[in-house]
């Protein structure tokens, strides 16, 4: 089917007064008191734009705290009355959407487990038809860009134009430093597909622990993200969900104060001149790189022809092993990481094999 929706048309809506837009509050609404105390402390900071709290919690395993349900919507309505902060909840089906809207919730977000499910996304999109709320869509748990774009597309097709994306990282099977793999290239690619979509980072669910929140938030700011969703709880030690990653409002204040915010453009002429010159150099090296690779492929094709004439297989693992080891050593001397050399050489090698394959089978 032809793509009817031009995602590049999603317009930059009035998202925030100053960067970063901040959506903060506890992982879960637990009690009337916990919600209100957290909200009052957050409102005092005068840095939190939107108050968040999960009411329906999608837990990976049963028997974990699954949220207080509709009851919590009244507490959010009180928070708005008391502090003036707009409120946000996660919705995972049509009845969540209807309940949240009935109680005057301003901002809805769709969680990572839901955005991975096109049926659930379509049900939510249908429930949103004709509604004028802000809707944020978290990346799906698995690193598939099209799934994320598809979820955004479904909501856009329902007529919602205040849409934002939240980067919360991707599940990993192996043990990694963070709770989820950030894979920063995916949100960057999302921005390439939908340039005007506001992009927020959720360092709480990427990091999974307090100590990573600042470095992740700073990185997001350096990559020109529009905002942050950070979990903050009046007393994280007794939180019923995501205990390790929640910070107190005071700690949130420190984090936000410490962030260095850089401009994405400069009107300093000398700076622009120097940057322009350096970028010209980069472009030059890039085209030299491509020319060298082209030459390398030419030699690979010649080898292919030669192997064909002599009836020899394309792949010779011992030779490849040798090339890779030498490159890793050379790379180290040049300050290039083993991971980088590995993926660069794998890609170059694959392209060589493709070229040789064509020669062999022509
Ligand atoms: C949350 O924001 O509390 C949440 C459940 O997030 P995610 O969908 O990113 O896991
Ligand atoms: Mn959480």
pLDDT for the residue 60: 80
Residue 134 Cβ inside 6 Å of ligand 1? The answer reads: no
Which atom from ligand 1 is nearest to the alpha carbon of 229? Answer: 2
Cβ of residue 205 lying under 6 Å from some atom of ligand 1: yes
In contact, 38 and 25? CB cutoff 8 Å: yes
Q: How far is CA 99 from CA 27, 91, 116, 274, in A?
A: 19, 9, 22, 55
Ligand 1 atom at minimal distance to the Cα of residue 114: 8
- At 224 the pLDDT is 92
Query: Exposed/middle/buried for 32, CB within 10 Å: 0-12, 13-18, 19+?
Result: middle
Rounded to the nearest angstrom, the distance between the alpha carbon of 109 and the centre of ligand 1 is: 9
Ligand nearest, relative to CA of residue 60: 1
Distances (CA, A) of 168 to 47, 89, 177, 181, 312: 21, 16, 15, 9, 48
CA torsion 317-323-325-331 (nearest 10°) is -150
Residues of each domain in the chain carrying CATH 1.20.59.10? 269-360
Give the mutation target among 24, 27, 91, 228 for probing the ligand 1 site: most ligand atoms within 8 A of CB: 27
- Nearest atom, ligand 1, residue 28 CA: 3
User: Does the Cβ of 233 fall within 6 Å of ligand 1?
Assistant: no
Nearest to 30, CA basis, from 82, 65, 77: 65
362 residues of the chain, pLDDT tens digit each? 334 556 655 555 666 667 899 999 999 999 999 999 999 999 999 999 999 999 999 888 888 899 999 999 999 999 999 999 999 999 999 999 999 999 999 999 999 999 999 999 999 999 999 898 999 999 999 999 999 999 999 999 999 989 999 999 999 888 889 999 999 999 999 999 998 899 999 999 999 999 999 999 999 999 999 999 999 999 999 999 999 999 999 999 999 999 999 888 888 999 989 999 999 999 999 999 999 999 999 999 999 899 899 998 877 788 888 999 999 999 999 999 999 999 999 999 999 989 988 988 88
Contacts of 247 (CB under 8 A, 6+ apart): 210, 213, 230, 231, 232, 233, 236, 255
Nearest CA to ligand 1 atom 8: 111
Taking alpha carbons only, the member of 85, 108, 120 closest to residue 164 is 108
Cα 64 to ligand 2 centre (Å)? 12
CATH of domain 269-360: 1.20.59.10
Question: Do 148 and 165 form a contact (C-beta atoms < 8 A)?
Answer: yes
DSSP string, 275-333: HHHHHHHHHHHHHHHHHHHHHHHHHHHHHHHHHHHTT--S--HHHHHHHHHHHHHHHHH
Residue intervals in the chain for CATH 3.20.20.70: 7-258
CA within 13 Å, CB half, 65: 15
CB 129 within 8 A of CB 158: yes
Global confidence as pTM: 0.84
Dist. CA 216–CA 205, nearest whole Å: 10
Asked if 179 and 205 touch (Cβ cutoff 8 Å), the reply is: yes
Distance between CA atoms of 352 and 357, rounded to whole angstroms?
8
What is the token pair recorded at 202? Answer: 């959720």
Ligand nearest to the CA of 168: 1
Residue 3's pLDDT is 46
Q: List beta partners, residue 164.
A: 136
The CATH number of 7-258 is 3.20.20.70
| Res 97: pLDDT | 98
Q: Whose alpha carbon is nearest atom 3 of ligand 1?
A: 27
pLDDT of amino acid 2: 39
pLDDT score at 263 = 84
Task: Identify the pLDDT of residue 19.
Answer: 87
Smallest CA separation from ligand 1 atom 1, residue = 27
**CB of 27 shorter than 6 A to ligand 1:** yes
Angle at 200 between CA 340 and CA 240, to 5 degrees: 100
End-to-end CA distance of the chain: 34
Q: How far is the CA of 178 from the centre of ligand 1 (A)?
A: 15
Q: Is the CB of 168 under 6 A from ligand 1?
A: yes
User: Minimum-distance ligand to the CA of 241?
Assistant: 2
- Substitution site in 58, 108, 124 for ligand 1 pocket (most atoms within 8 Å of beta carbon): 58
Q: How far is the CA of 232 from the centre of ligand 2 (A)?
A: 10
**For residue 82, what are the contacts with CB-CB under 8 A and spacing of at least 6?**
36, 39, 40
**CB of 167 sitting under 6 A from ligand 1:** no
Percent helix, strand, coil in the chain, to 5, is 50, 10, 35
């Amino acid at each position: 089917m032809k793509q009817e929706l031009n995602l590049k048309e999603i317009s930059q809506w009035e998202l925030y007064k100053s960067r970063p837009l901040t959506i903060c509050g506890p992982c879960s609404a637990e009690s009337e008191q916990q919600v209100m105390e957290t909200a009052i402390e957050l409102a005092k900071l005068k840095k939190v734009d939107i108050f968040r709290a999960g009411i329906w919690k999608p837990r990976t395993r049963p028997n974990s705290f699954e949220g207080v349900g509709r009851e919590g919507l009244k507490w959010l309505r009180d928070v708005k009355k008391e502090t003036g902060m707009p409120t946000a909840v996660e919705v995972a089906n049509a009845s969540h959407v209807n309940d949240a809207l009935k109680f005057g919730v301003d901002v809805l977000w769709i969680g990572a487990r839901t955005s991975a499910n096109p049926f659930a996304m379509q049900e939510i999109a249908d429930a949103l038809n004709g509604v004028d709320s802000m809707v944020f869509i978290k990346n799906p748990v698995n690193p598939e860009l099209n799934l994320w774009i598809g979820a955004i597309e479904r909501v856009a097709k329902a007529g919602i134009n205040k849409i934002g994306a939240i980067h919360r990282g991707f599940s990993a099977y192996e043990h990694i430093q963070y709770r989820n793999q950030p894979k920063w290239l995916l949100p960057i690619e999302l921005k390439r597909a939908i340039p005007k979509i506001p992009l927020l980072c959720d360092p709480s669910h990427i990091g999974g622990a307090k100590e990573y929140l600042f470095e992740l938030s700073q990185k997001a700011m350096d990559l020109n993200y529009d905002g942050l969703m950070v979990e903050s709880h009046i007393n994280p030690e007794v939180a019923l969900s995501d205990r390790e990653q929640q910070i107190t409002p005071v700690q949130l204040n420190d984090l936000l104060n410490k962030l260095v915010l850089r401009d994405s453009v400069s009107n300093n002429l000398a700076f622009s001149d120097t940057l322009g010159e350096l970028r010209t150099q980069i472009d030059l090296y890039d085209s030299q790189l491509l020319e060298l690779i082209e030459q390398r492929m030419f030699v690979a094709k010649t080898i292919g022809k030669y192997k064909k004439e002599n009836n020899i297989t394309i792949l010779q693992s011992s030779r490849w092993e040798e090339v890779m080891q030498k490159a890793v050593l050379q790379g180290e001397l040049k300050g290039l990481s083993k991971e980088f050399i590995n993926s660069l050489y794998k890609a170059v090698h694959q392209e060589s094999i493709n070229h040789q394959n064509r020669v062999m089978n022509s």
